[in-house]
Chain A
Amino acid sequence: RKEVEQDPGPFNVPEGATVAFNCTYSNSASQSFFWYRQDCRKEPKLLMSVYSSGNEDGRFTAQLNRASQYISLLIRDSKLSDSATYLCVVNSLSDMRFGAGTRLTVKP
Chain B
Amino acid sequence: EAGVTQFPSHSVIEKGQTVTLRCDPISGHDNLYWYRRVMGKEIKFLLHFVKESKQDESGMPNNRFLAERTGGTYSTLKVQPAELEDSGVYFCASSHDRHEQYFGPGTRLTVT
Contact = CB atoms under 8 A, between A and B. Distances in A.
Interface of A: 2, 4, 32, 34, 42-46, 49, 87, 91, 93-101
Contacts, number: 46
> Which 8 pairs of residues, A with B, have the shortest CB-CB distance?
A95-B45, A43-B103, A98-B43, A94-B56, A100-B42, A94-B48, A98-B42, A94-B55
B33 interface: yes
A44 B91 contact: yes
Given A34-B100, A96-B101, A98-B35, 15 more contacts: A2-B42, A43-B104, A45-B103, A46-B102, A49-B99, A87-B43, A91-B98, A93-B56, A94-B48, A94-B56, A95-B56, A95-B59, A96-B35, A100-B41, A101-B42
A14 to B, nearest CB: 28
Contacts of A32: 99
A91 B55 contact: no
- Give the secondary structure class of A's interface: strand
A95 B58 contact: yes
Contacts of A93: 56
B105 interface: yes
Interface in B40-82: 41-45, 48, 55-56, 58-59
